[in-house]
Amino acid sequence: MRGFAKRHTVAQALQWLDMQLRTLEPETIPLSTAAGRVLARDVSSDVDVPGFDRATMDGFALVASSTEGAGPYSRLPLIVVGDSMPGRPFDGVVRSGEAVRVMTGAPMPGGADAVLPAEFAEVEDPDGPDGPAKAGHYIAGHYISALGTVSPGKHVGRRGEDITSGTTILERGRTLRAQDIGLLSSVGQGQISVVRRPRVRLAITGNELLPAGTRPAGFQIADANGPMLSALVERDGGVVDFPGLVRDDRQSIVDALHADADIVIVSGGSSVGVEDLAPTLVAEHGELAVHGIAMRPSSPTGLGRLGHRLIFLLPGNPVSSLCAYDFFAGRAIRALGGRATAWPYRSIRAKLNRKISSPVGRLDYARVRLEDGLVEPLAVGGASVLSSTTRADGFVIVEDDSEGFAEGAEVDVWLYD
44-97: per-residue pLDDT in tens?
A: 999 999 999 999 999 999 999 999 999 999 999 999 999 999 999 999 999 999
What domains are defined for the chain? Answer: 10-24+197-336 (3.40.980.10), 26-50+160-195 (3.90.105.10), 54-157 (2.170.190.11), 347-415 (2.40.340.10)
Condensed to tens digits (0 to 9), the pLDDT of residues 213-224 reads 899 988 898 999
Output 5-11 pairs: Cβ under 8 A, ≥24 positions apart. 5/292, 6/292, 7/292, 7/293, 7/294, 7/299, 8/290, 8/292, 8/293, 8/294, 9/293, 9/294, 9/363, 9/400, 10/293, 10/294, 10/295, 10/327, 10/363, 10/400, 11/400
Mapped onto helix, strand or coil, the DSSP state of residue 140 is coil
User: Is 365's pLDDT higher than 70?
Assistant: yes
The answer, yes or no, to whether residue 135 has pLDDT greater than 50, is no
pLDDT higher than 80, residue 128? no
What does each C-alpha distance from 209 to 60, 88, 130 come to in angstroms? Answer: 74, 67, 85
Instruction: Check residue 137 and give its pLDDT.
Output: 45
Largest alpha-carbon pair distance within the chain? 105
345 touches 416 (CB < 8 A): yes
Cβ(211)–Cβ(271) below 8 Å? no
CB atoms within 10 A of CB 270: 28
Model pTM score: 0.86
* Strand blocks (E) in 51-208: 54-55, 59-62, 76-84, 98-102, 114-117, 121-123, 143-146, 156-157, 168-170, 191-195, 199-204
The whole-chain average pLDDT of the chain stands at 92
pLDDT tens readout for residues 296-355: 999 999 999 999 999 999 999 999 999 999 999 999 999 999 999 999 999 999 999 999
- The two beta strands, 347-352 and 374-379, are parallel
CA atoms within 13 A on the CB side of 117: 8
Report the candidate in 329, 326, 333 with the shortest Cα–Cα distance to residue 197.
333
Q: pLDDT tens digit string along 240-294?
A: 999 999 999 999 999 999 999 999 999 997 776 666 799 999 999 999 999 999 9
Mean pLDDT of 393-409: 96
